[in-house]
Chains A and B, each alone.
Chain A
């Protein structure tokens, strides 16, 4: 079965420190990859996406992600976080149709 795994459910981090959120997926076919962010009491907002081309993808708010086909991973990074980055982050994958499969989410809490 195709699945998306976010390895960390909670990530506490201090302000101005770097953060990495890990995402792995199970598939041997070509995929499309996404990271979404959800701020409290809001819907999901697209951070970045990988469809093809360069494996290093830059998104909004200083986030970037790297697609690693051999390791079937799409980890999200930010070199220096702000209090406003406190949110839940979802990795999502389109495997072989137009449906998104989501990971369970990672809650990032940024502390001063």
Chain B
């Protein structure tokens, strides 16, 4: 079974803090994704990566950056957290053009 893990289930940070969300997958997938999920909006793609050190912006990249130094790990960085970044963050991985496997999510609250 594919396993995607995320470093924290719940996280509370203060406005202006730098926040790191980590994601690790164990199935040697090329592609990795970061989404945020908000009520009524579904999942929106923040960034994705199709190879080590490669990244592409998704639909809502503003205020976020990513890092992929190793194939199994994909990090999402909030350089200066703001209250409008309070959300559920979901990481996923996949082989090219196939279904994505999701982690359990990190519920981030920025106060």
Q: Show the binding face of A for B, using Cβ within 8 Å.
A: 9, 32, 34, 36, 41-46, 49, 90, 94, 97-100, 102-105
Contacts and interface: CB of A to CB of B under 8 A. Distances in A.
Nearest to B101: A46
B102 A98 contact: no
9 contacts: A32-B97, A43-B103, A44-B92, A44-B102, A94-B97, A98-B50, A102-B42, A104-B40, A104-B42
A49 B99 contact: yes
A86 B31 CA distance: 30
A98 B94 contact: yes
Contact of A46 (B45, B97, B99, B105): B99
Given A9-B40, A104-B41, A34 B99 contact: yes
Interface of B: 4, 31, 33, 40-45, 48, 50, 58, 90, 92, 94, 96-97, 99-105
Contacts of A43: 4, 90, 102-105
Contacts of A104: 40-42
Contacts of B48: 99
Contacts of B41: 104
Contacts of B90: 43-44
Contacts of B50: 98
